[in-house]
Structure 1
Amino acid sequence: MRAARLHEYTDEMDDALTIEDVDRPSATDPNHVVVEIEGAGWCQTDNHAIEGMWEERMGQTLPMTLGHENAGTVAETGDDVTLVSEGDTVVCHPAMTCGICRACRLGQDMHCENLAFPGLSTDGGFAEYLLTNERAVIPLPEGVDPKEIAPHADAGITAYHAVKKAVGELNPGEPAVVVGVGGLGHIGLQALRAMSAAEITAIDVKDEALTLATDLGAHHTVNSRTEDVAERLDALTDGAGVQQVIDFVGADETLDYAPNVLAGGGDHHVVGYGGHIHEPAQALVDGDFAYRGTLVGTYPELQELLSLVARGEVSLRTSRYALEDINDVAAKLEHGEIEGRAVIVP
């Protein structure tokens, strides 16, 4: 089968991956599921993986196939698999979990002691076929296109996971902020609108992203390139501050918002990453606020997100690319030239 392989870490996205022929995976374990990939979302994490940011954490061995937002048709199952059969369409939770460790028993999928993560620790879905397991696959309702749903496997579930935590701290009418209305942020904004009665302000550096935010239900928008974010939020909240910030950018500049915009007891949810938190401990104590990390989400949360999708509450803005165009996609995303989510169609 054809697969896009990473042979060495690099900061140059234009030729980072090589299309080559590799052996098709097979169901060698009773709980294995082999999925014929119809759509695989490209994520900023893939760019970070190319740069080597996940090497130490995931124990990567190169060469490997990237791609962790995967959906398609079941091609083969292990002997013990009962949830799906050959021919079923599925979306894949990005983590292959064991189901028996303490984290799994607690429903904390991303902290499974025996976790495998296709596209980051094992071969992923930028290929014609993917090897995963029964605990990772979610059958799709009839009529749902795997090519359209694939980015929800990571981008969607990650945005939903952060929003779900924020919503638990929001009362109706209280102010919440979405930072970055891009591939994840446009999903998160819709989820926040569907799951809360918060007063939503969207922040971005691009006017077209802010127009999209308004279309998706934001009550206010701020262009952080031309406006002072803290001053604008202070005016919008009459000096009371924001209850929840959901940061889909995670740059130094956006991570600095927290002490200047949050109300006492508020939270700054860090979804995007790459920047650094520079606040002194006293700032957190005086403001009684918290930074909260976001690591993907759980299998049930992906099911919940798909329910919002089925009800028309959350939709994706996607563009499709052939496997041969994969390096162009990497370069475009690196330069901020992709609106919404890019989907690779092998």
Structure 2
Amino acid sequence: MKAVRLHAYHQQPVIEDVPEPQAKEPFDVVVKIGGAGVCRTDLHIIEEQWAEKSGVTLPYTIGHENAGWVHEIGRGVTNVAVGDTVILHPTPTCGLCHACRAGNDMHCENSVFPGIDSDGGMAEYLLTSARACIKLDPSTQPADVAALADAGITAYHAVRKAVPRLYPGTVCVVNGAGGLGHIGIQSLRALTAATVVVVDRNAEALELAAELGADHTVQADGKQVDAVLDLTGGNGAEVVLDFVAEQGAQQDAFAMTRRDGSHFVIGYGSNIDIPTIDIISTERNVIGNLVGTYNDLVELMVLAQAGKVTLHTKKYPLDAALDALADLDAGRVRGRAILTP
């Protein structure tokens, strides 16, 4: 089968033939990929940012946002059958450790992360686990929902955590309206009554944000912090969801957060430099976010199949994977790039 393989850091992946995976263990599931999302994390992987944390051995297949059809199952699988349409939680888990038992399965002590630390889904087939499979309506096209498996669940998880802080009358800033941010806006609209302010440097992204329900849009032109403070009476927002967190955006996000507010870090790429006195004197919170739980993805798919959360996508054939990565890196993708093997 064809797969997008990374052979060396700081070099582009190559598309090559590799053996098809097989369901050898009882709970193995092989999925025929119908859609594989292209994520900024894939760019960070190529740049070696994940090398130490993942411990992956090169070469391997990238791609961690995956949906498709069940192709083969292990002898112990009962929750899906061959032919079922599925979206895959990004981290197949053990179900037995404390984190899994507590419902925090993205912190499973024994999980793998296809596309990060093992072969991923930018390929014709992917080996995963029955525990990662969420069965979808057969009419669902995998390419239309694949990016919800990571971008979607990550954005939804952050919003879900922020909901208790976003009672009516509060303000939430969405910093970055790209692949994750545009899902975050819709999740906020579905789950809260907060006023939504969206900040982005790209005018087209702000137009999309307004279409999706943003109450205010702010151009990131160097004056975005002042603009948000003006919109909030000089106080800042109760919650800032930072979907960028690099190139200075992470500092802006904290500066947009009011006293006793919460700065949710979702994007990554740069360090946050905050004087500790600024944290304790204002009691502001800095909260990290890693993908989400299996149940988060189940809930998100309910919203998606009800039409309350939609993905704006640009589709590429698998052979054009390098074009998709280049377009993402250059900011030419509105929403999410999807490979269709």
Q: What is the TM-score when the length of structure 2 is the normalising length?
A: 0.98
Q: Does 1:130 pair with 2:126? A: yes
Deviating 4+ runs (over 2 angstroms): 257-261
Decide which of 305, 314, 318 is 2:309's aligned counterpart: 314
Q: State percent identity of aligned pairs.
A: 50
1:301 match: secondary structure: helix
1:326 match: secondary structure: helix
Task: Give the count of matched residue pairs.
Answer: 341
Decide which of 270, 294, 316 is 1:299's aligned counterpart: 294
- The structural deviation recorded for 1:259 is 4.6
Does the Cα contact within 8 Å between 1:270 and 1:291 map onto a contact in 2?
A: yes
- The structural deviation recorded for 1:258 is 4.4
Does the Cα contact within 8 Å between 2:254 and 2:263 map onto a contact in 1?
A: no
Tell me which amino acid in the other structure corresponds to 1:47: L
In the aligned structure 2, how far is the partner of 1:330 from the partner of 1:253? 23
Matching residue of 2:4: 4
Q: Does 1:210 pair with 2:206? A: yes
Matching residue of 2:263: 268
Matching residue of 1:172: 168
Does the Cα contact within 8 Å between 2:91 and 2:106 map onto a contact in 1?
A: yes
In the aligned structure 2, how far is the partner of 1:219 from the partner of 1:32? 45
Matching residue of 1:244: 239
Does the Cα contact within 8 Å between 1:95 and 1:115 map onto a contact in 2?
A: yes
1:257 match: secondary structure: helix
Counterpart mapping for 1:55-134 below 5 A: 55-134=51-130
- The structural deviation recorded for 1:53 is 1.2
1:168 match: secondary structure: helix
Q: What value does the CA root-mean-square deviation take over the aligned residues?
A: 1.1
In structure 2, runs of 5+ residues without a counterpart are none
Decide which of 26, 31, 47 is 1:51's aligned counterpart: 47
Q: What is the TM-score when the length of structure 1 is the normalising length?
A: 0.96
Matching residue of 1:29: 25
In the aligned structure 1, how far is the partner of 2:139 from the partner of 2:253? 42
Decide which of 154, 166, 169 is 1:158's aligned counterpart: 154
2:190 match: secondary structure: helix
1:182 match: secondary structure: coil
In structure 1, runs of 5+ residues without a counterpart are none
2:146 match: secondary structure: helix
2:134 match: secondary structure: strand
- The structural deviation recorded for 1:229 is 2.1
